[in-house]
Amino acid sequence: MAFSSFLILTSLCIAGREALSVSDCGAFARRPEYTDISVVCGTSSIHLAIQICPVVYTGYNESLLILNRIRGDVSCQGTLDTSVTPPVVKFSFPIREGNACGSNFLTTSAPGTGIFSDFSNIQSVNVSGVIRSFDPTIGTITYNAELKYYYSCAYPLEYLINNTQVDVSSSSIALKDNNGSFISTLSMALYKDINYTTPLILPAVGVELRTNVYVEVVASNLTSQYFVLLDRCYASVNPQPANSTIFNLFVSCSIDQLTTMLENGESQKARFFFPAFRFIEQQNETISTYYLHCITRLCERSTCSTFKQCNRRKRSTETMVVQDSITEPSVLTVAIKAKKDNSIQHKEEALSGGQSDGKGASVGLGIAVAVLVVIGVAAFLMAASFYRKLKRLS
């Protein structure tokens, strides 16, 4: 951007107090640069900070920086912060369409790649806008250069939640904000009841086979315009499913017959449950430990229904080996430990099974002997009858 070489070294009065002057800025008074704006793309709000001294050097102050041409709305005005060095003017607004201080929302779609290659429509939303200087000069000409500070935050709307440890009272883990990501709002927790009130605490010896495991994925502190939609959840033998045997609990509308979907794409939480199982390749281990992963989509409330349609590319719900490596740095992890056997039940079944087998064998042998006796008697009678006929003829 071009700036006028003519500087206005005057101080303007703002709201009854004197604004920063060039002399107040000292060494920080200079021409504006492209790096004067910093953008923090939070999970529920976007935060902007612009160095104020270059603004003052150009002839303006914080009250003359207008966010997306919105004037008169106090919530969209900048706030001067002189407690930091160099001093800045700060803007903060929520990520909600219609309430984001005039920001533009653009949702784009592209085919999935890498770990999302099963899905043909991966969405991202871009939130952007501009802060412009307002020139108060009255007259035909001005010597003030126009200032424009553009900001943009791109948020992917598809995330992989990996789960590896669940031997604590809750598997929900809070992560710190990542710029341009909603991953820190997502958490996965396991429960032992269908009302999702009692967290599932996995015993050291593992959970009983066929015990229902209730899974909930929640978006917390997320702008209300997005719902949670689970695209795919699967279990793997290893924490990172690269070169690991996996089992799909569901992929889109293809749901394993023992998996029950309770809520998906209807609010900021998704819920399903499945009976605890074990991987056959772990049959020699006392406890079968496997890891739950969910590919989670954040969809706009009005469009979630379109992603629930069953006409997208998907894998079948069967055991397979995945070669893809997972490189996402921000993941949540939970492990599910299932008992190989209940030793007490196993002994009881062995005893009762042995007795049953013995009785069954005895009954079978008795029937076989009876049949043979009947056949023998019938053969003897037929032979005797045939003998008598021959004797008469002779």
CA distance 335 to 217: 15
Fold of 158-343: Immunoglobulin-like (2.60.40)
Task: Write phi, then psi, for 276 (nearest 5 degrees).
Answer: -60, 135
Token pair in block for residue 220: 């917390």
Close Cβ partners of 99 (under 8 Å, ≥ 6 residues apart) = 93
Ramachandran assignment for 252, one of left (phi > 0), alpha (psi -120 to 50 degrees), beta (any other): left
3-state SS, residue 194: coil
Task: Write phi, then psi, for 209 (nearest 5 degrees).
Answer: -60, 145
CA distance 105 to 99: 11
In this chain, the answer to whether the domains covering 13-156 and 158-343 adopt an identical fold is: yes
- CATH number for the segment(s) 13-156: 2.60.40.3210
Listed by start position, the domains of the chain span: 13-156, 158-343
Q: Is the pTM of this model over 0.75?
A: no
Q: End-to-end alpha-carbon separation of the chain, Å?
A: 134
Token pair in block for residue 61: 């102050």
Q: Nearest CA to 331 among 299, 295, 364?
A: 295
Torsion of CA 386, 389, 393, 394, to 10 degrees: 60
Digit-by-digit pLDDT tens for the chain (394 residues) are: 333 323 333 333 333 345 788 888 988 988 888 889 999 998 889 999 999 999 999 889 899 999 999 988 999 999 999 999 999 999 999 988 788 999 999 888 887 777 777 777 788 888 999 999 998 888 787 777 889 999 999 898 888 777 533 332 222 222 334 357 888 888 899 999 999 999 998 888 888 888 999 999 999 888 888 899 998 899 888 887 777 788 999 988 788 899 999 999 999 999 999 998 888 888 788 888 888 888 888 888 888 888 877 654 444 333 333 333 222 322 333 567 777 655 444 434 433 444 444 444 444 555 665 656 666 666 666 766 666 665 555 5
